[in-house]
Amino acid sequence: MIIVVKKGTKEEFIDNIKDTLLANGMTFYVLQGSSYVLIPVAGDLTTSDMGRFRSLKGVERIINISKPYFMVSKHYREKSIVDLGDGIDIGSDFTVISGPCSVESADSLDKIAAFLSGLGVKILRGGTFKMRTSPYSFQGLGENGVKILNETAGRYNMKTISEIVDVRHIDLFEQYIDIIQVGARNMMNFALLKELGKSSKPILLKRSANATIEEFLSSAEYIMAEGNENIILCERGITSFDDSTRSLVNIAAIPIIKEQTHLPVILDPSHSVGSFKYVPQVSEAAVVLGADGLIVETHYNPTNALSDGYQSLNFNHFESMYKKVLKLCEFKKENL
Amino acid sequence: MIIVVKKGTKEEFIDNIKDTLLANGMTFYVLQGSSYVLIPVAGDLTTSDMGRFRSLKGVERIINISKPYFMVSKHYREKSIVDLGDGIDIGSDFTVISGPCSVESADSLDKIAAFLSGLGVKILRGGTFKMRTSPYSFQGLGENGVKILNETAGRYNMKTISEIVDVRHIDLFEQYIDIIQVGARNMMNFALLKELGKSSKPILLKRSANATIEEFLSSAEYIMAEGNENIILCERGITSFDDSTRSLVNIAAIPIIKEQTHLPVILDPSHSVGSFKYVPQVSEAAVVLGADGLIVETHYNPTNALSDGYQSLNFNHFESMYKKVLKLCEFKKENL
Amino acid sequence: MIIVVKKGTKEEFIDNIKDTLLANGMTFYVLQGSSYVLIPVAGDLTTSDMGRFRSLKGVERIINISKPYFMVSKHYREKSIVDLGDGIDIGSDFTVISGPCSVESADSLDKIAAFLSGLGVKILRGGTFKMRTSPYSFQGLGENGVKILNETAGRYNMKTISEIVDVRHIDLFEQYIDIIQVGARNMMNFALLKELGKSSKPILLKRSANATIEEFLSSAEYIMAEGNENIILCERGITSFDDSTRSLVNIAAIPIIKEQTHLPVILDPSHSVGSFKYVPQVSEAAVVLGADGLIVETHYNPTNALSDGYQSLNFNHFESMYKKVLKLCEFKKENL
Amino acid sequence: MIIVVKKGTKEEFIDNIKDTLLANGMTFYVLQGSSYVLIPVAGDLTTSDMGRFRSLKGVERIINISKPYFMVSKHYREKSIVDLGDGIDIGSDFTVISGPCSVESADSLDKIAAFLSGLGVKILRGGTFKMRTSPYSFQGLGENGVKILNETAGRYNMKTISEIVDVRHIDLFEQYIDIIQVGARNMMNFALLKELGKSSKPILLKRSANATIEEFLSSAEYIMAEGNENIILCERGITSFDDSTRSLVNIAAIPIIKEQTHLPVILDPSHSVGSFKYVPQVSEAAVVLGADGLIVETHYNPTNALSDGYQSLNFNHFESMYKKVLKLCEFKKENL
């Protein structure tokens, strides 16, 4: 923490700042700058709220140096791989997760799972409790959807991922789902995060559309601080004035996030871009930017999907994209 | 809904669009523009997902005209007043809600309640379960805080408001709290909103820092669609590149929101501005912009507050601000 | 400037940083923090580019404390009043500037000037060279418009303001215009700013829609550094994801800007809000937030205006707004 | 254009809208929707200002369908290649432009040009008149820098590019520079754009950090409408709340821009990312996203560069990046 004090502040106010720091057991130094007095402070700041120093007389502003997270950072560990069992993990090789936006029926999901599994995809996604802006939109099949997802994936030896929207569903998800997804709109639902921190299941945490990287990692810290170290981060676009895509596709954030944390980072190109047309190119960009994988929506008939049809790939598009991405991964290993 | 089709699109594709619309029971018209073919469509779109029309061949984009909400709009009702009992309401006169950021102890809260009540403030705020970016920051007194808030307010005949962060706390809040607050970070926690829609208590819903007005009102619709019509909206600043204040103080949104909805709209100047210095001026601006009230943080010793000290008013500042705001309300009634 | 060095950085790299600082004649201190080594630095940084220190080994980041401006700050002067002659100034009392978006013809401008002057408005605005997003939109009457503005204002003893868009027009503007306006889109046209810094005419500088306050004041510094100290700042809304108004009406920035600078700060409610309906309320808010004035668009028949009709007030609206604003100014002096 | 009219608007107001449209020679239709009356309108709207229709009674809003540009769109031409002579062009193959942020001296530029030319780079960049936020930062060598750039490039048979900041420098740039660059902060300096539209030299137009794609293309239209069809677009990052990089690296905009226009689109990774560390990965991503090239800063000793040292690549970094990018281009041609 650095306390910036206005030049010309009365000595008594500076003494008061010093006394307050001493009383809190902090080490500091006072440096006379040309337009400010700088007081850099060393000490454990997680136990007290830095904000309070801002209201001391003469203080212009407080600059925070420490990060509000530790366990998710590279200071704690160099690299994490999230093991899903049966030889499947996220973090060692590039992983493509796919499936429909929503589980619509057992038949339709089977068709999609058969196709994806045939290509080599090992993790099946499918929305069951949907988060929709309007209460009048399709809200998902709920518990029934969770079971269909579980059974379908079982037939093809696939792992499952689905979004949880209610802390009271944790038991249900733990029973049937392999990776519990926290959506962008729940990234700061700390009650949910803490509860998931006690779960034995891996958590995929999506970045909120208005969260800074620091806030994103702090939310992951909420989970990890409770004991669950199996976390996958997912970048999915941010809010911006540029409305040419559904969200602003923030793929260049991937290497920056990965420099801060040991956790695997994947991209959701479907929700970022909001249009199937750009999903393949954005997915390829994620590969060269060092992402650990993708979670991408696929449907055999996107026009009739019950939600998000426009951003889902059809089977032809998915197969083409998937093969290119794998080829690019090979190329990258040897050349980039 | 308006479907914009690229000029020069083959007749068969346009026929396909028409057929799809007819099959969905929609009324439409086809207009040849200079660079586009426009197909305006009338019909109930809440039952189907407009997105799917975007993947039809030739479609350039879909323009949504209908709003995803109805009950919170002025089409449903002209004006709502939220009655809290004992002659206290929100929506008829300008209401100032105040109290500390967090309930810190019974003694400290009593001191603040005594002061506020003495001035005429009728609703006491106090955080009990706190939402903090870092898991290592002060998290609030929890259930004990809820009870302290209830008892303290009772002594001064005040109503209470506190933020709920976990759907499993609803029974507790219903028992002890008069207005249940949903924080900005839970604005899209639809599981929580639906549950609160079944509550008999008024709900104060804060706008998420990256929500559009349409998303804000859609979240209110989630509550109202379940039967709870006692909702107060609260604007509290949005995310922006301009980091001169904690959030971008979006006060000019107040008249725009009020034009769309019958619900009362209040401002949280403390969290918007993030600095006690600007709270009074921003509060006065809220009055002339037509807000129905304020929720503002007050503490007898902000420097030692356990959270958000810098944005809390001390007693002198609050009293000065409160009196000016009331005078300005009088002036406004007669002159503006 | 504070240099933040990664904990665990080799001693030789830290020595290299120290040597580089010494070689640049800077005073500094090295503080061992818990996760970082902090090196606060005092010294004149305007002569060297701080960015270069970022590429030294071990450096995590550089934190800038000094502001990139001086003459426009309160360190240089407490308060400026821009004198326009004939007893008219900006900065002592609240000033309302008005007129049409564009000068459309001598007759139409005369009608507007007669009306405004009759109410007591002393400064007439009118676009002459227009900045339009599309090259095919109305571009203004140009030199002829400048002369019409000058002649019309003369008849009513009003001062004039118009936007300059080309550095080659300075002579023309100096001859005919009393306040030369720099539009938001030219806020960083430094070649123009420097030239205007040599002018004897007051400059009204609009904030760019994506400029931070620091960038805004730095642009004003460009003018002032060349010798022209008669500058009026104008806030006109910023870019945001919230598209409910033309720009995000950033009125709460007014007291924050005024705390940094001695220059008068006015608001353009018309371009911020983009709709005549909200102009009066936003203008009143500007009064309580401490603005030094307004520049607002008025037209006798907004529907037929050649540009920006929707955001212009008609005569009735202007008169009503103007009288309320003046009353509120009186009220504020005595009560707020 | 579509006019959205509030349901329940009086017949006389709708008649008035119809009459106004007829008077302007427009074709339209009136469709009764469930919550709105929609009036889609066909007709040439560039000659009148749509805004005016917004002030007609009953009008809720106006939706613009037509784009404000034509010549830069794919309706005008499928693909443009900007020919620079001597077998060098932008648009057919992937082009890497490089050089220092600023021309610092003849010797230092020679060193850089020799290195780049040796690798096969054919276009040399170098700032001569600099745009700096602070008037006290290094402002460039000016005319002398322009001549040094010209002479140095000549020795190595390279083409040159440099940013113009003043419309009065056009003659100078036409004499000595091969591609005239318009910086992001001048993207809406329409006076400059119009003048460059009369030039015979190719123009590189950078996207402003707060411009939408539509505004970006409209600025290019300003140049093209005056007759200069040799335009290269350059994406360089946008303004955002996410301050983890200098600008928000908006690379996913590249395929979206290219879908709208026939002009070549290149990326400036240095200014987007603001840190040399991420330049290589972002550059590779630009390749797979379909960019036509890069403009990237290189310096033999970034730590001592007079400007932007931190974002410049040193020779080793550039060579490594350059070779990978070329390999990836080859891979892409055959595989993606």
**Where residue A267 sits, what CATH number does that domain have?**
3.20.20.70
Mean predicted lDDT score pLDDT of chain C: 89
CA atoms within 13 A on the CB side of C252: 33
Domain boundary among D63, D94, D109: D63
Sign of CA dihedral A123, A127, A131, A133: positive
Tokens in use for C71? Answer: 């003459």
* CA distance linking residue D298 with residue A135, whole number of Å: 53
Instruction: Please give the pLDDT value at position A36.
Output: 79
pLDDT band, residue A31 (cuts 50/70/90): confident
Instruction: Please give the pLDDT value at position D295.
Output: 97
Taking Cα atoms as reference points, which of A244, A293, A247 lies closest to residue A271? Answer: A247
- pLDDT tens digit sequence for B120-179: 999 999 999 987 777 777 778 999 999 999 999 999 999 999 999 999 999 999 999 999
Per residue in B120-153, is it b (16+ CB within 10 Å) or e — as a string? ebbbbbbbbbbbbbbbbbbbbbeeebbbbbbebb
- Tokens 């001191």: give the residue: B111
Interchain CB distance below 8 Å, C66 and A34: yes
The shortest CB-CB distance from D34 to any of B40, B44, B241 is to B44
Domain that holds residue C226: 82-335
DSSP A92-140: SS-EEEEE-SB---HHHHHHHHHHHHHHT--EEE-BSS---SSTTS---
Quick one: what percent of chain A has pLDDT higher than 90?
Answer: 63
Structural contact between residues C153 and C175, judged by C-beta atoms closer than 8 angstroms: no
Q: Mean pLDDT over residues C93-111, rounded?
A: 96
> B77 lies in a domain?
no
Identify residues of A whose CB sits under 8 angstroms from chain C CBs. 2, 4, 27-29, 31-36, 38, 40, 42-44, 63, 65-67, 75, 239-241, 243
Structural contact between residues A286 and A95, judged by C-beta atoms closer than 8 angstroms: no
Do C184 and C39 fall into the same domain? Answer: no
Domain boundary among D16, D32, D63: D63
> B131 lies in a domain?
yes
Do B245 and B131 fall into the same domain? Answer: yes
Interchain CB distance below 8 Å, B324 and C336: yes
Interchain CB distance below 8 Å, B43 and D36: no
State in Å, rounded, how far the first CA of chain D is from the last one: 39
What angle in degrees, to the nearest 10, is found between the helix axes of C143-155 and C106-119? Answer: 40
* Angle at the Cα of D164 from the Cα atoms of D158 and D166, rounded to 5 degrees: 155
Candidate ranges A39-53, B60-74, B163-177, B294-308; pick with highest mean pLDDT: B163-177
Structural contact between residues C257 and C305, judged by C-beta atoms closer than 8 angstroms: no
Distance from CA of D127 to the nearest CA of C (A): 15
Do A18 and A151 fall into the same domain? Answer: no
Q: Mean pLDDT over residues B28-38, rounded?
A: 79
**What contacts A323, CB < 8 A, 6 or more positions away?**
none
Do C94 and C174 fall into the same domain? Answer: yes
- Kindly give the pairing relationship between strand C123-125 and strand C95-99: parallel
Instruction: Please give the pLDDT value at position C45.
Output: 56
Do A168 and A21 fall into the same domain? Answer: no
Asked whether residue C223 carries a pLDDT value surpassing 80, the answer given is: yes
> B68 lies in a domain?
no
- Kindly give the pairing relationship between strand C59-63 and strand C27-28: unpaired
Taking Cα atoms as reference points, which of B194, B174, B192, B175 lies closest to residue B183? Answer: B192
> B240 lies in a domain?
yes
What CATH number is given to the structural domain containing C56?
3.30.70.1140
8-state DSSP, A72: T
Instruction: Please give the pLDDT value at position A52.
Output: 67
Do C17 and C163 fall into the same domain? Answer: no
Look at C297 and A47; give whichever has higher pLDDT: C297
Sign of CA dihedral C167, C168, C173, C174: positive
CA atoms within 13 A on the CB side of D66: 20
- Stretch among A40-54, A219-233, C115-129, D124-138 having the lowest mean pLDDT: A40-54
Asked whether residue A294 carries a pLDDT value surpassing 90, the answer given is: yes
Instruction: Give me the amino acid identity at A139.
Output: Q
* CA distance linking residue C265 with residue A275, whole number of Å: 44
Structural contact between residues B121 and B152, judged by C-beta atoms closer than 8 angstroms: no
Tokens in use for C16? Answer: 């290299």
Interchain CB distance below 8 Å, C309 and D49: yes
For D245, D250, D264, D269, D279, the CA distances from D272, given in Å and listed in that order, are 7, 8, 18, 5, 9
* CA distance linking residue B190 with residue C295, whole number of Å: 43
Distance from CA of D79 to the nearest CA of A (A): 20
How many residues are recorded in chain B?
Answer: 336
Structural contact between residues C187 and C168, judged by C-beta atoms closer than 8 angstroms: no
* CA distance linking residue B52 with residue B23, whole number of Å: 14
Do C208 and C253 fall into the same domain? Answer: yes
Do A88 and A153 fall into the same domain? Answer: yes
Do C203 and C325 fall into the same domain? Answer: yes
* Angle at the Cα of B142 from the Cα atoms of B136 and B146, rounded to 5 degrees: 145
pLDDT band, residue A307 (cuts 50/70/90): low
Taking Cα atoms as reference points, which of D220, D218, D285 lies closest to residue D249? Answer: D285
Q: Return the number of CB contacts < 8 Å for A and C.
A: 68
**What contacts A295, CB < 8 A, 6 or more positions away?**
A97, A98, A125, A161, A204, A234, A266, A267, A268, A270
Report chain D (336 residues): mean pLDDT per 10 consecutive residues. Answer: 83 86 80 78 59 76 79 93 97 97 95 98 95 76 96 98 95 97 94 95 95 93 95 92 77 93 96 86 96 96 72 93 97 94
Interchain CB distance below 8 Å, D29 and B40: yes
Taking Cα atoms as reference points, which of A122, A80, A89, A98 lies closest to residue A264? Answer: A80
Helix (H, G, I), strand (E, B) or coil at D297: strand
Distance from CA of C217 to the nearest CA of B (A): 13
Taking Cα atoms as reference points, which of C95, C100, C140 lies closest to residue C311? Answer: C100
Taking Cα atoms as reference points, which of A264, A234, A290, A262 lies closest to residue A79? Answer: A262
Tokens in use for C315? Answer: 């005569």
* CA distance linking residue A317 with residue A324, whole number of Å: 11
Do B146 and B247 fall into the same domain? Answer: yes
Mean predicted lDDT score pLDDT of chain D: 89
Tokens in use for D96? Answer: 């890497």
User: What ipTM was estimated for this complex?
Assistant: 0.89
- pLDDT tens digit sequence for A209-218: 889 999 999 9
The shortest CB-CB distance from A241 to any of C2, C67, C241 is to C241
Identify residues of D whose CB sits under 8 angstroms from chain B CBs. 2, 4, 27-29, 31-36, 38, 40, 42-44, 63, 65-67, 75, 239-241, 243
Instruction: Please give the pLDDT value at position B51.
Output: 63
How many residues are recorded in chain A?
Answer: 336
Which chains share 3+ C-beta pairs under 8 angstroms with A? B, C, D
Instruction: Please give the pLDDT value at position D62.
Output: 79
Asked whether residue B113 carries a pLDDT value surpassing 60, the answer given is: yes
**What contacts A15, CB < 8 A, 6 or more positions away?**
none
Which chains share 3+ C-beta pairs under 8 angstroms with B? A, C, D
Do D57 and D143 fall into the same domain? Answer: no
Per residue in D72-107, is it b (16+ CB within 10 Å) or e — as a string? bbebeeeebebebeeeebbbeebbbbbbbbbbbebe
Distance from CA of C308 to the nearest CA of B (A): 20
Tokens in use for B284? Answer: 């006065």
Do B44 and B88 fall into the same domain? Answer: no
Instruction: Please give the pLDDT value at position D52.
Output: 67
> B317 lies in a domain?
yes
Sign of CA dihedral C110, C112, C114, C116: negative
List of chain D residues whose C-beta atoms are within 8 Å of the C-beta of residue A324: 335-336
For A66, B253, B281, C15, C180, the CA distances from C265, given in Å and listed in that order, are 37, 22, 16, 47, 15
Instruction: Please give the pLDDT value at position C47.
Output: 42
State the burial class of residue B61 (Cβ atoms within 10 Å of its Cβ: 0-12, 13-18, 19+).
middle
* CA distance linking residue D331 with residue C2, whole number of Å: 45
If one counts every other C-beta atom within 10 angstroms of the C-beta of residue B94, the result is: 21
* CA distance linking residue D303 with residue D305, whole number of Å: 6
Mean predicted lDDT score pLDDT of chain B: 89
Interchain CB distance below 8 Å, D42 and B34: yes
If one counts every other C-beta atom within 10 angstroms of the C-beta of residue A150, the result is: 18
- The domain tally of chain B equals 2
Structural contact between residues D74 and D260, judged by C-beta atoms closer than 8 angstroms: yes
* CA distance linking residue A97 with residue D70, whole number of Å: 41
Instruction: Give me the amino acid identity at B227.
Output: G
List of chain D residues whose C-beta atoms are within 8 Å of the C-beta of residue B239: 241
Interchain CB distance below 8 Å, B304 and A166: no
Tokens in use for C30? Answer: 């090295």
> A68 lies in a domain?
no
What angle in degrees, to the nearest 10, is found between the helix axes of B315-335 and C315-335? Answer: 150
Taking Cα atoms as reference points, which of C220, C155, C156 lies closest to residue C193? Answer: C220
For B290, the closest chain C residue by CA position comes to C281
Sign of CA dihedral A297, A300, A305, A310: positive
Interchain CB distance below 8 Å, D213 and A239: no
> D76 lies in a domain?
no
- pLDDT tens digit sequence for D236-262: 988 888 777 777 888 889 999 999 999
> C167 lies in a domain?
yes
